[in-house]
Amino acid sequence: MANALAIRFGKLHDNLGEPRSNGVVVIEGERIAAVGDSEMPLPEGARVVEAGCLVPGLINAHAHLEGSGEPNTMRVFVETNATQRAYACAENARRALEAGVTSVRDLGATGTLAIDLRDAIGAGKLPGPNIVAAGTAICMTGGHGWFIGRQADGPWDVRKAVREIRHAGADCIKFIATGGVLTKGAVPGIEQLSEEELRAGIGEAHTHGMRCAAHAIGTGGIKNALRAGIDSIEHGHLIDAEGIALALEHETYLVPTLAAIRCIVDAGPEAGMPDFVLRKAREIAEQAEINLRAARAAGVKFAGGSDAATPFNYHYAYYYEVELMQTMLGMSAREALYATTVNSADLLGLPRGRIAPGAVADLLALESDIETDLRALRTPTLVVKSGAIAFQRS
Ligand SMILES: [Zn+2]
């Protein structure tokens, strides 16, 4: 076995309880062997690294590795071919990992792109995070994301689409329950796949042990997905009191994708986005913040996901989503970290997100404590995935 890695920390956020000060984490193989105080004897020959602060690797529960944050999403799929997007997909995965994202759920790509990248990374052929892949998203004919989706209409067709996507190797299923911002002509507030269609598809997926996520911005579509038994609401921006009550009743995760809206609104009219994208994002932005704060205050569970790939929302900038959970939703630094590590891992069904003896070693060394300034996450000095150093700042 290779020599152990010992990381001496000033502060440790292990997601188990109160943060610890001045100790050491020892990693052997792919797992954490021990967590102790600064006097703990280290294994012979251990490589020793210093960290101001140590946190679990970040988990982005909503990303599209095929896209790179281009201003005009639909145009990307007209002007590039599948091979070009496959290379971009690999590059985005590598850069996300180097920036501290050790696991990603890809919620929709063309064909088997994200599934194949998952396998290439898993086999050690390419660097990147662990990937949980939804394969192709399921939408109604002409629905949001139709240009990269599997279009399906009626309960049996939706069931068949789930079977196809499972057969192609997907881990989970993504349904489009409402319109969206980036698709021309799709109105975010309007329902798309019906409750009946969602119920059929979710039932089929659950039969095979696959979890389900719903793209749902509009009030009605959010409630359709919740009543149909969805495992996570993605975006959830126009959720109302009844939707909040349903999310609580079903213990459904909400993945707020704050960066997706924020990056569009902040980029503004001169940034090269289609006019309809900026208009729709602006219409949603203010209401989204109010509704999501209400959901959080009511006790809805939040998991972290940025929708990386949307305009100016980069795979390597997931730290921005964590920061927005603090600035927009009012979470403390520790709560935002918990949502984007433990809760995301729980939603994805991954045994990750905590730093404890026996756990898989996914962690980030930072220069300073996130409780002083969450922006410490922007520049990790060391990224460890499954016990191996994936990035070290020189
Ligand atoms: Zn998305």
Domains: count for the chain = 2
Q: Does 163 share its domain with 18?
A: no
Q: Does 128 share its domain with 103?
A: yes
Q: What is the pTM of this model?
A: 0.97
Average pLDDT over residues 60-89: 96
- Cα(199) to ligand 1 centroid in Å equals 21
- Cα(63) to ligand 1 centroid in Å equals 6
Q: Does 336 share its domain with 379?
A: no
Q: Does 380 share its domain with 232?
A: no
- Cα(307) to ligand 1 centroid in Å equals 5
- Cα(157) to ligand 1 centroid in Å equals 22
Closest CA to 90 of 106, 73, 74, 66: 66
- Per-residue pLDDT tens over the stretch 179-194: 999 888 888 999 999 9
297 has a pLDDT exceeding 90: yes
- Cα(56) to ligand 1 centroid in Å equals 24
Q: Does 49 share its domain with 66?
A: no
* Alpha helix ranges (H) inside 8-50: none
The pLDDT assigned to 394 comes to 84
339 has a pLDDT exceeding 60: yes
204 has a pLDDT exceeding 60: yes
CATH number of the domain bearing residue 151:
3.20.20.140
In this structure, what DSSP letter does residue 209 have? T
At 3, the pLDDT band (50, 70, 90 cuts) reads: confident
- Cα(137) to ligand 1 centroid in Å equals 9
Q: Does 227 share its domain with 366?
A: no
Q: Report the chain's C-alpha Rg in angstroms.
A: 20
Query: Could you give the dihedral angle defined by the CA atoms of residues 107, 110, 115 and 120, in that order, rounded to the nearest 10 degrees?
Result: -120
CB 57 within 8 A of CB 40: no
Q: Does 270 share its domain with 362?
A: no
Task: Give 290's contacts (C-beta < 8 A, 6+ positions apart).
Answer: none
Q: Does 268 share its domain with 372?
A: no
- Cα(250) to ligand 1 centroid in Å equals 22
Q: Does 97 share its domain with 19?
A: no
Average pLDDT over residues 54-75: 96
328 has a pLDDT exceeding 60: yes
- Cα(309) to ligand 1 centroid in Å equals 8
Q: Does 369 share its domain with 323?
A: no
Residue 221 identity: G
- Cα(65) to ligand 1 centroid in Å equals 10
- Cα(119) to ligand 1 centroid in Å equals 21
Quote the percentage of the chain above a pLDDT of 70: 99
Q: Does 95 share its domain with 244?
A: yes
Domain range enclosing 46? 5-57+354-392
Q: Does 360 share its domain with 223?
A: no
The pLDDT assigned to 1 comes to 57
Task: Give 339's contacts (C-beta < 8 A, 6+ positions apart).
Answer: 302, 303, 304, 325, 331
103 has a pLDDT exceeding 60: yes
Residue in the block written with tokens 């305009």: 311
225: left (phi over 0), alpha (psi -120 to 50) or beta: alpha
Closest CA to 343 of 64, 31, 58, 54: 58
- Per-residue pLDDT tens over the stretch 218-255: 999 999 999 999 999 999 999 999 999 999 999 999 99
- Cα(115) to ligand 1 centroid in Å equals 16
Q: How far is CA 35 from the centre of its chain?
A: 28
